[in-house]
Amino acid sequence: MSVTKPLPHDSGPLHVTGQARYVDDIPTPANCLHLAFGTSSIARGTVTAMDLDPVRTAPGVVAVLTADDLPFANDVSPSIHDEPLLSVGTVHYVGQPIFVVAATSHHAARRAAAKARITYAEEAPILTVDQAVAAGQYFDDGPRVWQKGDTDAALAAAPHRLRGRLEMGGQEHFYLESHASMVAPQEGGDVVVYSSTQHPTEIQHKVAEALGVPMNAVRVEARRMGGGFGGKESQGNALACACAVIAVKTGRPVKMRYDRDDDMTITGKRHDFRIDYDVGFDDTGRIKGIDFQQYTRGGWALDLTIPVADRAMLHADNAYLLDHARITSHRLRTNTQSATAYRGFGGPQGIFGIERVMDHIAHTLGLDPIAVRQVNYYHNMGPVRAGKVSGNTTPYGMEVRDFILDEMTEKLLADANYADRKAAIADWNAKNPILKRGIGFSPVKFGISFTLTHLNQAGALVHVYQDGSIHLNHGGTEMGQGLFQKVAQVAASRFGVDVSLVKITATDTGKVPNTSATAASSGSDLNGMAAKAACDTIRDRMANCLAELHQCPVERVRFEDGKVRVGDNEMTFEQAAATCYQNRVSLSATGFYKTPDLSWDRAKGQGRPFFYFSHGAALTEVVIDTLTGENRILRTDIIHDVGRSLNPALDKGQVEGAFVQGAGWLTTEELVWDDKGRLRTHAPSTYKIPACSDRPEVFNVELWDGENPEATIYRSKAVGEPPFNLGMSAFFALSDAAAACGPNYPMLDAPATAERVLQAVKRARG
Amino acid sequence: MYAFDIERPTTIADAVAALGAEDAQALGGGQTLIPTLKQRLAMPSKLVSLTAIPELKGVCVADDGALCIGGGTTHATVAAQAAAHYPALAALAGGIGDPAVRNRGTIGGSLANNDPAACYPAAALASGATIVTNARQMAADDYFQGLFTTALDEGEIITEVRFPVPDRAAYMKFQQPASRFALTGVFVAKYADGVRVAVTGASEGGVFRWTEAEAALSADFSADAVAGLSVSSNGMMGDVHGTPDYRAHLVKVMTKRAVAAA
Amino acid sequence: MATIKMTVNGRERSGEAEGRTLLVDFLRQELNLTGTHVGCDTSQCGACVVHVNGEAVKACTMFAAEAEGAEVVTVEGMANPDGSLSVIQQAFQDHHGLQCGFCTPGMIMSAAALLKDNPKPTEAEVRHYLEGNICRCTGYHNIVKAIMAASGQDVSAVAAE
């Protein structure tokens, strides 16, 4: 069976030879126009005058459009229609598109756009959390509060109490391929859109609105992205809509790709958060009550801020059973890029809050930070351990039935030799005045499913041709994660054939409609099941036909090893397909799947928003230079739960990449806006992404040997987002190293740049 | 980028002639100039590429023992060919950018540009190098004149840089992690007649000599010798990558490291 | 506009270029060699690495005119003459040294340049050499493994204890 095999990425041979096509590599049709946006240079105000004549007369320019020139909807928002494609006179952040230029080349369009003369009536921008709170700039009608138990009473009664604040920065996706779209006009006003998107249906929907046509007039195709990470869930809408409007207006094909600095300046990023905590605990570190205040800057438009902030609340417990908890979420409107989806979707921010609390409690009590975590863990899915008496439900009332972090933690600590290394580090630190080592641990329990319940559905379309070759299509998109290969392995397994017989085809809204974004780590869970359903439909039809022809019970038709066995007869899959075709069997089917057992009342913050949880744990050792704050990761050990892996090689790759990206978020990746609201880190020369030399010198990644107790596709689990959180172990290792310098808790904030580490060392020393 | 023509002369004389045109500009390896052009921070009418001139390339040792490097020599070549004669300089060249950048970027281009965070200016100043152009020779002390500013006249080409080889030397760079330019870099060179210390990346005025450290190290060439000195954060650069205080702090730390490594 | 000639992947090629035309744009637009990618435009990410006269350079930070008469090799020219994958290409495939694939051509070209000068690099040398090539997906682990494997070295112990 091809599932569980560590097969390489299906596009590997194309990538290593340069043949894989991204949107910008599709041969450009003759006559193609290229677009560039003219953008706001101020963060907040009104356009008082706009002279676009120098743009219109620039070489190669064919058209210049402002909001007034848009024929139908001027909106690219994925949520509440608050995000005009082109400014309607007010501007809300530096980089907001105001007009769009169509020219004969990419460079000509960019050069022309720079020639606009725009004057503004400037207003003081709202940039910080404090400014937004003071100005009452809330999305979602003010703070949202979810709670469990009686937090105030529990805090008052607790033997120990601690308050603190954690600041964490946002994160630029830096998918290597910047956003791109191409639109080819068709007869009758229809369009075909090629987009680098995680959400073809959303592109179809927004393009249809922009053109004033029904969705059936728009077909969106997406073969692959050069990385997505959530950044291509909603942020591609603007490019696709702009291309579509101009394609229809001019009758010419139109292409747009952002240069890197445009991409970084215009598009949204991970939400940054401030988390204030007030926690009561006993002598063992067991939390008795906790109050979280989560503040996040959502930027100028809503985009996906509500579900992101919700997920931060839903992960405020991470792996810990909280009897009394209150989580308050402040979703703030600021004059910055509209923050958007990014791997983890608020989950990491919520988790980071309570992981800091665990660390802080341990330091206060002089206990091992891992022991404090273990004493707070949810009950195991096995026998309930002593001392845990209050049920096993999350702050949002969901029973945790599949918790496995006890054993995972114990195995990790044993495999990574924690106790000895901790002692060795203490010894080493006692002897070394300048360099200090630290070790950090972080577990993750991550909820799998879209919290907007209706998104948990998927479709697939499968054809078997008369020569036995298989055409596979589903609603998921490929951004490098290996989804296409995993789903192809599922399809091959259902037919009992080699995966090479399965042709993986570009995501296409004309083949599978009404898809959800490939997001929330759900790609293989949803699309794997949908593809299985489609394959099984065809397989059952084939089996019935063959059983009848060979006069044997249908139960005795088996698809395995590239053969079809019908009773005592055996034929190749190709022969079986040809036979079925000749006997007029439909060899094409759709498949559909919706995640079972979900119920979620968002207003109350109660229910079962997740189908299951994924788990993981990481242990990281670092060294810091206390003179400069320089640091490096010496070793990371990870054990991660992907259920019964569909493809261990792809899953391990996801875990490794997610860890490095998560560690980057909390260490080197720093977004800086100046007091005018201009993003100062809008290029890889100023925004530090982990490089090859930044990865751990020793890096052990192991997949937990288990299976999903829920009936997912072949009992596998989602993998995209959960391991991102394991990067936190690197952060807490840095904090531990700083703590080795003195008696105080270092109160390290993220990203822990060298200068911040140096300041943390000073705070530790006092 | 604005439009311009490119010429690729094969002799210094032809290059100098080509640079006589109005708004013509020399193009070395282009690793800084091309990004600058992309941002439209420069508007030359003509670029005169210096990469096709054989006489600008190469590393050799002069009769007086100085290491002579052609202005058009790439960082990769310096890293490889200077290693036997002036290891600290070769190590500096091998730490610029990344391998692909080092295959294009040139010493003459770096010194002519005089980016305040570039590495080579620290080496040239700490070594008391001589900057040789098509027209004259200049001491490094006279050559560097502030951010992106040098004593070069328009159309003047750096043909060679002559480095007196010190007894001991080392360069220590605290990298701005994203660009790998120097957030603070310190080059220490010990000669028979004294020690020179040049600092790049830190000051608003560009590369400078830290004279207090030079005096202290000339008396006692040890890391401890600078322990009692302090660097003021006045005039230090502050940006998204580091505060003036941090840079001032790093000057001393990097100096001590360089002395220890020399 | 001027006509620029160079040898690309062993073939004489020519195309039109302005003075300001970058080598990467010339390769992608004039010669339709779209395997060389533009990731950052500022010579940081390495997705555009090609070989010019045997040396790895960033094609986004070199003018096409400067490659006049040069020998240029792109990722499209890296396979064996019979079309099969070269050792380096096969190693990236076998060791899962790619995810989204956008950085892969630049990685292959940098790896080839490294192994030409240093046929048996240490793991530390590989990491150091790749600092101008950004990958956002893999965490680099399998990329390092692929290059070590391509150099004929045992990779079972790469970065593991």
| Structure-block tokens of residue A681 | 């880190």
Distance separating alpha carbons of residues B169 and B189, to the nearest angstrom:
4
Q: Is the pLDDT of residue B57 over 50?
A: yes
Q: Is the pLDDT of residue C120 over 90?
A: yes
C137 and A649 within 8 Å at the Cβ level: the answer is no
Q: Is the pLDDT of residue B39 over 90?
A: no
Question: Using a CB-CB distance cutoff of 8 angstroms, which residues of chain B are in contact with residue C20?
Answer: 1-4, 37
Closest CA to B96 of B112, B113, B110: B110
C140 and A660 within 8 Å at the Cβ level: the answer is yes
- CA distance readout (Å), A393 to A291, A294, A389, A725, C17: 17, 21, 11, 22, 66
Helix (H, G, I), strand (E, B) or coil at A265: helix
The verdict on C98 touching A (C-beta cutoff 8 Å) is yes
Domain match, B217 and B230 both: yes
Residue C9's CATH number: 3.10.20.30
Q: Look up tokens 């004309």; give the residue.
A: A510
Closest CA to B245 of A755, A681, A167: A755
Helix axes A237-250, A200-211, angle to 10 degrees: 40
Tell me if C159 is assigned to some domain: no
Question: Using a CB-CB distance cutoff of 8 angstroms, which residues of chain C are in contact with residue A17?
Answer: 35, 75-76, 78-79, 85, 89
Q: Find residues 441-480 of chain A whose CB sits inside 8 Å of chain C.
A: 479-480
Number of domains composing chain C: 2
Domain match, C128 and C92 both: yes
Would you give the distance in Å from CA B32 to the centre of its chain?
13
Distance separating alpha carbons of residues C52 and A601, to the nearest angstrom:
61
Residues 6+ apart with CB under 8 A from A588: A461, A462, A463, A464, A538
Residue B61's CATH number: 3.30.465.10
Nearest CA of chain A to the CA of C61: how many Å? 14
Domain match, C11 and C46 both: yes
Which of C77, C99, C125 represents a domain boundary (last residue)? C77
Range of the domain at C108: 87-150
Residue B34's CATH number: 3.30.43.10
Distance separating alpha carbons of residues B235 and C145, to the nearest angstrom:
46
Domain match, B155 and B203 both: no
Q: What ipTM was estimated for this complex?
A: 0.98
User: Residue B41: pLDDT band by 50, 70, 90 thresholds?
Assistant: confident
Pick among C26, C51, C96 to test the A interface (most A CBs inside 10 A):
C96
Tell me if C82 is assigned to some domain: no
Query: Taking residues B32-57, what's their average pLDDT?
Result: 93
A692 and C100 within 8 Å at the Cβ level: the answer is no
B3 and C20 within 8 Å at the Cβ level: the answer is yes
Q: Find residues 158-187 of chain B whose CB sits inside 8 Å of chain C.
A: 178-180
Smallest CA–CA distance from A693 into chain B, residue: B177
Q: What is the pLDDT of residues C32-64, one digit of tens each?
A: 999 999 999 888 999 999 999 999 999 999 999
Tell me if C48 is assigned to some domain: yes
C132 and B1 within 8 Å at the Cβ level: the answer is no
Domain match, C9 and C72 both: yes
Decide: B201 and B117 in contact? Cβ < 8 Å: yes
A114 and B242 within 8 Å at the Cβ level: the answer is no
Decide: A302 and A139 in contact? Cβ < 8 Å: yes
Decide: B65 and B165 in contact? Cβ < 8 Å: yes
Domain match, C96 and C35 both: no
Active site residue A721: yes
E strand segments, A518-575: 557-560, 563-566, 569-572
Domain match, C93 and C69 both: no
Neighbours of chain A (3+ CB pairs under 8 A): B, C
Which of B139, B163, B187 represents a domain boundary (last residue)? B163
Q: Look up tokens 């926690």; give the residue.
A: A279
Predicted pLDDT of residue A358: 98
Which of B125, B141, B163 represents a domain boundary (last residue)? B163
Nearest CA of chain C to the CA of A662: how many Å? 10
Number of domains composing chain B: 3
B27, B37, B99 member nearest C113 (Cβ): B99
Tell me if C22 is assigned to some domain: yes
Nearest CA of chain A to the CA of B257: how many Å? 11
Smallest CA–CA distance from C65 into chain B, residue: B6
The verdict on A696 touching C (C-beta cutoff 8 Å) is yes
Domain match, C12 and C36 both: yes
Which of C77, C112, C127 represents a domain boundary (last residue)? C77
Domain match, C120 and C66 both: no
Domain match, C64 and C101 both: no
Residue C136's CATH number: 1.10.150.120
Predicted pLDDT of residue A226: 98
Nearest CA of chain C to the CA of A104: how many Å? 13
Which of C77, C111, C139 represents a domain boundary (last residue)? C77
Is-cis flag, bond preceding A751, omega within 30? Answer: yes
B180 and C55 within 8 Å at the Cβ level: the answer is no
B179 and C110 within 8 Å at the Cβ level: the answer is no
B34 and C131 within 8 Å at the Cβ level: the answer is no
Which amino acid would we find at residue C47? A
Which of B32, B49, B66 represents a domain boundary (last residue)? B49
Q: What is the pLDDT of residues A664-723, one digit of tens each?
A: 999 999 999 999 999 999 999 999 999 999 989 999 999 999 999 999 999 999 999 999
Domain match, B44 and B17 both: yes
Tell me if C156 is assigned to some domain: no
Domain match, B110 and B86 both: yes
The verdict on A176 touching C (C-beta cutoff 8 Å) is yes
C75, C142, C160 member nearest A653 (Cβ): C142
Predicted pLDDT of residue A386: 45
Task: Name the catalytic one among A209, A233, A478, A721.
Answer: A721
A16 and C96 within 8 Å at the Cβ level: the answer is no
Distance separating alpha carbons of residues A584 and A545, to the nearest angstrom:
9
DSSP code, position C29: I
B5, B97, B98 member nearest C19 (Cβ): B5
Domain match, C19 and C70 both: yes
Predicted pLDDT of residue C73: 98
Number of other CB atoms surrounding residue A63 within 10 Å: 18
C93 and A693 within 8 Å at the Cβ level: the answer is no
C57 and B103 within 8 Å at the Cβ level: the answer is yes
The verdict on A481 touching C (C-beta cutoff 8 Å) is yes
Domain match, B157 and B173 both: no
Helix axes A523-549, A573-582, angle to 10 degrees: 70
E strand segments, A397-528: 435-448, 457-464, 470-474, 502-504, 507-508
Range of the domain at B238: 168-261
A630, A687, A754 member nearest B178 (Cβ): A687
Domain match, C10 and C60 both: yes
Residue B17 φ/ψ region, left for φ over 0, alpha for ψ in the -120 to 50 degree band, beta for the rest = alpha
Nearest CA of chain C to the CA of A493: how many Å? 22
Query: Taking residues B52-81, what's their average pLDDT?
Result: 97
Helix axes A648-667, A347-365, angle to 10 degrees: 70
Which ranges in chain C belong to alpha helices (H)? 23-25, 87-94, 104-117, 123-129, 141-150
Nearest CA of chain C to the CA of B99: how many Å? 6
A630, A672, A689 member nearest B240 (Cβ): A672
Query: Taking residues C77-104, what's their average pLDDT?
Result: 97
Q: Look up tokens 């987002």; give the residue.
A: A721
Helix (H, G, I), strand (E, B) or coil at B239: strand
Residue B244's CATH number: 3.30.390.50
Interface A-C, measured as beta-carbon pairs within 8 A, has a size of 186
The verdict on B49 touching C (C-beta cutoff 8 Å) is yes
Predicted pLDDT of residue A387: 46
Nearest CA of chain C to the CA of B262: how many Å? 22
Predicted pLDDT of residue A383: 47
| Structure-block tokens of residue C56 | 């790895």
- CA distance readout (Å), A643 to A612, A615, A720: 11, 9, 13
Domain match, B119 and B194 both: no
pTM: 0.97
C110 and B103 within 8 Å at the Cβ level: the answer is no
Tell me if C66 is assigned to some domain: yes
Tell me if C140 is assigned to some domain: yes
Chunked into runs of 10 residues, chain A (766 residues) has average pLDDT values of 90 98 95 98 98 98 98 96 97 98 97 97 98 96 95 98 98 98 97 98 98 98 98 98 98 97 97 98 98 98 98 98 98 98 98 98 98 95 50 94 95 98 98 97 98 96 98 98 97 98 97 97 97 98 98 97 96 98 98 96 95 98 98 98 97 98 98 97 95 94 96 97 98 98 98 98 97
User: Residue C155: pLDDT band by 50, 70, 90 thresholds?
Assistant: confident
Distance separating alpha carbons of residues A87 and A76, to the nearest angstrom:
11
Q: What is the pLDDT of residues A528-578, one digit of tens each?
A: 999 999 999 999 999 999 999 999 999 999 999 999 999 999 999 999 999
Predicted pLDDT of residue B4: 95
Q: What is the DSSP string of A366-401?
A: T--HHHHHHHHBPPPSSSPPTT--S--B-TTS-B--
Closest CA to A40 of A340, A256, A335: A335
Domain match, B40 and B67 both: no
Domain match, C60 and C111 both: no
- CA distance readout (Å), B234 to A387, B198, B246, B249, C97: 59, 17, 12, 12, 48
Domain match, C95 and C71 both: no
Smallest CA–CA distance from A111 into chain B, residue: B1
The verdict on A194 touching C (C-beta cutoff 8 Å) is no
